[in-house]
């Protein structure tokens, strides 16, 4: 089944993962396990902090908490199985399991594109139209935007899934990757993949390029507004609220578009695997740090949280 192409439809794939580093299995496993645990804990911590602190109950932090939840789900479509495969002799996955993994991974990735674009518009409304900000970004609109991002992401991924299920896979069945990604599946298909290649490119343009265009237009207006602010402190505050988002956008879109905008060919897949590590595992871990380190409101919320915890502990000890 893992040899040359034949007429028998395959029912499972073999994921090579990081088998090219057999002597470093424990080290690589430990690194990825640490990254996954930090990703989940840091994002959950940020969600909890935003929920607990009333000062952070604004559209900006509503979107940020949803981004953190999305990152937890996003990395969890790949990391748990990847970690289990490190110590499995036969790293096989069923055909349906493989396609479903890609569907959920793709849905969440496309949703993140939409959510990052919505966050850019939120920053535009806050900085360029502060007096109308609450009207522009009402709680109802924020919820509708997040729900719309999920629906749009699922729809975009469903189109690719339907086209993928129409392909024939008759061998080989070895995927040189740590999860089921579309470029790797296209190379293994014994059908004509031109139609799905076109769909992949169109989806990348619609979600990636269109989202980037919205972000660039929003930040064009934001930069023009910031330059009109007379005080250095005011400029610095406005810039700091945008710098984190711009960093996250650059990392996510840069690595994602690199993988999905070029044709799927054998000699590019090893580069895709290393790039995929970055946007599937590393970026979800970095996002809560990126949005927290230079954010005064998050730091102030942490201080208030520590004070409340200290006060509760002190009261509890006095009772006893």
Residue 87: per-residue pLDDT: 85
Predicted model pTM? 0.88
- Cα 255 to the center of its chain, rounded Å: 11
- DSSP assignment letter at 263: -
Residue 231: per-residue pLDDT: 79
The top-level CATH class assigned to 12-312 is mainly alpha
Local structure of 92: helix, strand or coil: strand
The residues spanned by each domain of the chain are 12-312
Task: Order across the sheet with 174-175: list the strands.
Answer: 92-94, 12-15, 174-175
Residue 266: per-residue pLDDT: 53
Mark out the alpha helices in the chain (DSSP H runs).
25-52, 59-76, 79-85, 95-128, 133-136, 139-165, 182-188, 194-203, 210-228, 232-260, 269-277, 283-293, 296-319
| Cβ within 8 Å of residue 158, ≥6 positions away | 103, 107
* Tens of each residue's pLDDT in the chain, 320 residues: 444 444 457 889 999 888 877 888 899 999 999 999 999 999 999 999 999 988 899 999 999 999 999 999 999 999 999 999 988 878 899 999 999 999 999 999 999 999 999 999 999 999 998 888 988 899 999 999 999 999 999 999 999 999 999 999 987 899 988 999 888 899 899 888 999 999 988 998 889 889 999 999 999 999 999 888 877 777 777 777 788 888 888 888 887 777 666 665 555 555 667 778 888 999 999 999 888 876 888 888 888 887 777 665 556 555 55
| Residue 100 burial (10 A CB sphere; 0-12, 13-18, 19+) | middle
Q: How far apart are CA 80 and CA 5, in angstroms?
A: 31
pLDDT tens sequence across 30-59: 999 999 999 999 999 999 999 998 889 999
| Cβ within 8 Å of residue 3, ≥6 positions away | 171, 172
Q: How many CA atoms lie within 13 A of 107 on its CB side?
A: 18
């Amino acid at each position: 089944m893992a040899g040359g192409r034949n007429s028998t439809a395959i029912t499972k794939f073999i994921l090579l993962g990081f088998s090219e580093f057999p002597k470093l299995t424990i080290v690589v496993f430990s690194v990825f396990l640490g990254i996954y645990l930090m990703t989940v804990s840091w994002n959950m911590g940020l969600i909890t902090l935003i929920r607990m602190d009333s000062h952070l109950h604004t559209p900006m932090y509503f979107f940020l908490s949803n981004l953190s939840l999305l990152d937890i789900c996003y990395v969890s479509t790949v990391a748990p199985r990847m970690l289990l495969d490190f110590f499995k002799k036969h790293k096989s996955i069923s055909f349906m399991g493989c396609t479903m993994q890609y569907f959920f991974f793709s849905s969440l990735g496309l949703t993140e594109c939409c959510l990052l674009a919505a966050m850019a518009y939120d920053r535009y409304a806050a900085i360029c139209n502060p007096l109308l900000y609450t009207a522009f970004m009402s709680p109802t609109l924020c919820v509708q935007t997040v729900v719309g991002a999920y629906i749009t992401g699922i729809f975009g991924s469903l189109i690719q899934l339907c086209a993928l299920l129409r392909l024939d896979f008759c061998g080989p069945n070895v995927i040189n990757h740590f999860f089921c990604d579309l470029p790797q599946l296209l190379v293994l298909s014994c059908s004509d993949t031109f139609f799905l290649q076109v769909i992949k490119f169109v989806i990348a343009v619609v979600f990636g390029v269109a989202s980037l265009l919205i972000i660039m237009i929003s930040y064009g207006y934001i930069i023009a507004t910031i330059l009109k602010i007379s005080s250095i402190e005011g400029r610095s505050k406005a810039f700091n609220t945008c710098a984190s988002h711009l960093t996250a956008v650059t990392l996510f879109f840069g690595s994602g578009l690199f993988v999905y905008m070029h044709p799927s060919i054998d000699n590019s897949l090893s580069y895709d695997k290393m790039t995929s590590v970055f946007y599937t595992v590393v970026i979800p871990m970095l996002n809560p740090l990126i949005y927290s380190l230079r954010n005064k409101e998050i730091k102030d919320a942490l201080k208030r949280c520590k004070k409340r915890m200290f006060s509760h502990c002190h009261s509890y000890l006095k009772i006893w």
